[in-house]
Every structure is written in structure tokens, then in C-alpha cells.
């Protein structure tokens, strides 16, 4: 026991209570009003509780924003992300509420009964694609998890959103595993190049670099892959899976883009750091190249079979250009002039809007 709790125990033995906690220095008399949707995170950002500190590095404890506490008196959790510029964006509370409200269940919301036996090559391709997506979603959940525990609690909106992203990615790897095991196929191969291409994301040195690599670059690509999955889907179950996953992915992309846009506006000196992360991301794509396990399922599904892979290749080439265009357009939208520095060959041929 501490001196304080020991003294309190003695008081309790004498039948005395303390109640000093009722005299708070925090803002009192708050009556946040529910909006049309109910009582949202934005609705409770009233008065001092809604003041987002520019720098919270003096307070590294679990104490929530606006509570009555002496930071010097509390143990430090060693948070490394303590500035608004690094971890904040406007509308994060709204994005979080959307994430919570638009959760879906892979058990109940996918019409699994619409799965029918498919030609063997098509089933193989879809199962291999699902295996790949499962790998991707493991890291897409693990990496935000690693950074979530580094964020100061003054920025709880950011932490809350990352928690929803981790839940989304869990649901994605769940649904892709289910699809692989639901229609006469199974899980496929996991090549070294895919794993190496994912693993290095853990090694990125800063939160903005993680946002650039994972959210802006990676989730943007995966969003288009999910939309492509919906296009290639063979039944209503697959259409639903890919459309619902694309919704979530789009939210993750928005989160990363909004944060990076805020950082670029607040602290333009960090632009080069973001560019460096994207340099590495693009370089890795070129170094590792495409494996047959990644590429050929797309060609089979886009073409309509093993005997139509050339036709699939033409469509996939179009999609590759689209992925690069969308990536550069998002960079442009957040205030990052990336096209001149992008080393992906498709970038040279593009006109951005």
C-alpha cells in the first residue's frame, strides 16, 4: 500500500470517508447534447473537453483529456506520438462514428448460400486470391496495433479509429479465410516475396511514414483490388464480400489521407519524410516484382479461365495503370506532389486532374 492508501484505510476503520474527489478542477456542469444520430464523439467535444492540445508531451499517462490530474504525479507510459500535427486530423471523430456504425458480420451479412461449385481453375484462382488477401490483412491489423499504443491519450479519437481499423482488418482476414474454405477449394500458397514485401512495413521509422506506406500507398492499392474482386466475383456472396471490404478499406484510406494532409499543412518540413516512405514502397514493388501466386489468379478471374489469361492480362494492365493513377491523385489531394518523383513506370504517362 502507498502512504495515501494506508492513511485512507485508517480513516475508513474510523468510519470516515474522504470525498475530496468531488472537488474537481476540471470543467464541470457539462451537458453535451445528442445530435440527430445520438450522442457522438463530436457532440461531447464541448468546452475544454474539445480542446485538442498542440503538444501533449508533458502528460504521458492514461488520464483522459480534460480530467483533473497532475501529470508530474502519474507514471509515464512513454508515448512517442504526442503532437497534434503528427496524429490528428479534423473529422476523425466522425470517421470513427462511421466505422462503428457500418460494421458488418461475415457470418450473417454475406449470402453464403449463393456459392455454387465453380470450374476448378476459377475456384483455385479465387482461393489463391483469398489466401493473399488474408496475408495482407494480417499485417494491416498488426501494424496499426503496434502504433496505437504509442499515441498519447489526449488524441483518443485517433486511437479509437485505429481500433476500428484493426477490427475491420480482422473481419477481412476472417471473411477471406471463410471464402477459401466454403466452396470445395482450400487455402493456397504463401510465397516469400509477398511476405518480404509486407514485413518491412514494421520497420518504418515514424507514424507519418507508416500512414504513407500502409494507408496512402498500400490500402489504396488494396481498395482497388477489392473493387476488382467485386468485378470478378462469380456469385452474390463474393460480390458482397468484396463490396463490404471495399467500404472499410476506403475509410482506412481516408483516415491516412486526412492525417497526412493535416500534417503537411501544419508541418511542411515533414514532407520529405513522407516522400521517403513512398520511395521505399515503390522501390520494394519494383524489386520484388509480381509472383505467379499474386498475378495469375487475377488473370484467370479477369479473363474467365486458364485458357483466357492473355485477355485477363490486358484487363489487368489497365487496372495497374488505374492503381497508380489513383495513388498519385490521392497524393495530389493531400498536397503531396508525387508524380515527378514516382518511379513506377505508369506514372510517366499520366495526366492528373
Partner 1 sequence: MLVFPSLEWFQELTRLMHANEAIFKRIGPADVIWAVEVQPPGSGEPPRVCRFVFEGYGCEVVEELDPAAETDAAFTLQASFETWREMITNIQQHQGPDLQHTLNYLTLPDDPIYVKASDFLSRDLFARYGQTFQKFFDGAVEIQTEFRM
Q: Rule CB under 8 A: say whether 91 interacts with partner 1.
A: no
**Helix 292-303 vs helix 220-232: angle between axes, to the nearest 10 degrees?**
40
**DSSP code of residue 150:** T
Q: Rule CB under 8 A: say whether 317 interacts with partner 1.
A: no
Taking the complex as a whole, the smallest distance from the CB of residue 231 to partner 1 amounts, in Å, to: 5
Q: Which is nearer to partner 1, 62 or 318 (CB)?
A: 318
Taking the complex as a whole, the smallest distance from the CB of residue 196 to partner 1 amounts, in Å, to: 29
Cβ burial, residue 73 (10 Å; 0-12/13-18/19+): exposed
CB 246 within 8 A of CB 317: no
CB 346 within 8 A of CB 272: no
Q: Which is nearer to partner 1, 201 or 232 (CB)?
A: 232
- Interface residue with partner 1 among 209, 234, 259, 339 (CB under 8 A) is 234
Q: Which is nearer to partner 1, 147 or 226 (CB)?
A: 226
Question: How many CB atoms are closer than 10 A to CB 18?
Answer: 11
Hey, is 151 helix, strand or coil? strand
- Residues of this chain, 334-353, that bind partner 1 according to CB under 8 A: 334, 353
β-sheet bridge partners, residue 55: 83
Q: Which is nearer to partner 1, 10 or 314 (CB)?
A: 314
- What is the DSSP annotation of 54-108? SB-TT--SSPPTT----GGGS-----SB-BHHHH--TTHHHHHHHHHHT---TTT
Q: Which is nearer to partner 1, 250 or 294 (CB)?
A: 250
Distance CA 280, CA 200 (A): 10
Q: Rule CB under 8 A: say whether 241 interacts with partner 1.
A: no
- Interface residue with partner 1 among 33, 36, 192, 340 (CB under 8 A) is 36
Query: What phi-psi label fits residue 184: left (phi over 0), alpha (psi between -120 and 50 degrees) or beta?
Result: left
63 phi and psi angles, rounded to 5 deg: -60, 130
Q: Cell 513506377 identifies what position? A: 344
- Interface residue with partner 1 among 129, 130, 201, 253 (CB under 8 A) is 253
Q: Which is nearer to partner 1, 49 or 104 (CB)?
A: 104
Q: How many residues bind partner 1 (CB under 8 A)?
A: 40
- Interface residue with partner 1 among 92, 118, 136, 228 (CB under 8 A) is 228
CB 281 within 8 A of CB 107: no
* Stretch binding partner 1 (CB under 8 A), from 93-101, 139-147, 168-176, 266-274: 93-101
Distance CA 207, CA 154 (A): 16
Q: Which is nearer to partner 1, 284 or 332 (CB)?
A: 332
* Stretch binding partner 1 (CB under 8 A), from 21-29, 131-139, 176-184, 247-255: 247-255
**Site of interaction with partner 1 (CB under 8 A):** 36-37, 94, 98, 101-104, 109, 223, 227-228, 230-231, 233-236, 239-240, 243-244, 246-247, 249-251, 253-254, 257-258, 318, 322, 326, 329-330, 332-334, 353
Amino acid at each position: 500500500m502507498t502512504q495515501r492508501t494506508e492513511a485512507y484505510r485508517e480513516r475508513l476503520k474510523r468510519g470516515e470517508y474522504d470525498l475530496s474527489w468531488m472537488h474537481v478542477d476540471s470543467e464541470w456542469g457539462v451537458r453535451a447534447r445528442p445530435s440527430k444520430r445520438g450522442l457522438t464523439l463530436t457532440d461531447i467535444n464541448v468546452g475544454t473537453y474539445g480542446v485538442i492540445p498542440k503538444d501533449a508531451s508533458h502528460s504521458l499517462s492514461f488520464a483522459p483529456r480534460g480530467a483533473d490530474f497532475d501529470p508530474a504525479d502519474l507514471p509515464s507510459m512513454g508515448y512517442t506520438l504526442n503532437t497534434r500535427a503528427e496524429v490528428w486530423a479534423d473529422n476523425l471523430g466522425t470517421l470513427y462514428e462511421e466505422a462503428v456504425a457500418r460494421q458488418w458480420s461475415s457470418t450473417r451479412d454475406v449470402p453464403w448460400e449463393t456459392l455454387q461449385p465453380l470450374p476448378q481453375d476459377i475456384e483455385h484462382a479465387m482461393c489463391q486470391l483469398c489466401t493473399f488477401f488474408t496475408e495482407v490483412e494480417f499485417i494491416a491489423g498488426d501494424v496499426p496495433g503496434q502504433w496505437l499504443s504509442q499515441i498519447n491519450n489526449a488524441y483518443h479519437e485517433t486511437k479509437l479509429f485505429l481500433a476500428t481499423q484493426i477490427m475491420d482488418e480482422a473481419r477481412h482476414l476472417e471473411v477471406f479465410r471463410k471464402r477459401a474454405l466454403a466452396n470445395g477449394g482450400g487455402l493456397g500458397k504463401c510465397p516469400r516475396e509477398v511476405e518480404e514485401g509486407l514485413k518491412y512495413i514494421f520497420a518504418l521509422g515514424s507514424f507519418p511514414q507508416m500512414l504513407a506506406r500502409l494507408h496512402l500507398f498500400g490500402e489504396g492499392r488494396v481498395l482497388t483490388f477489392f473493387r476488382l474482386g467485386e468485378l470478378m466475383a462469380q456469385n452474390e456472396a463474393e460480390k458482397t464480400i468484396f463490396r463490404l471490404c471495399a467500404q472499410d478499406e476506403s475509410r482506412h484510406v481516408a483516415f491516412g489521407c486526412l492525417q497526412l494532409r493535416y500534417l503537411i499543412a501544419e508541418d511542411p518540413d515533414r514532407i520529405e519524410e513522407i516522400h521517403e516512405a513512398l520511395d521505399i514502397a515503390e522501390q520494394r514493388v519494383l524489386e520484388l516484382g509480381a509472383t505467379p501466386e499474386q498475378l495469375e489468379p487475377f488473370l484467370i478471374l479477369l479473363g474467365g479461365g486458364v485458357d483466357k489469361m492473355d485477355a485477363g492480362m490486358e484487363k489487368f494492365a489497365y487496372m495497374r495503370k488505374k492503381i497508380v493513377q489513383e495513388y498519385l491523385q490521392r497524393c495530389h489531394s493531400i498536397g503531396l506532389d508525387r508524380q515527378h518523383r514516382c518511379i513506377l513506370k505508369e506514372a510517366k504517362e499520366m495526366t492528373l486532374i
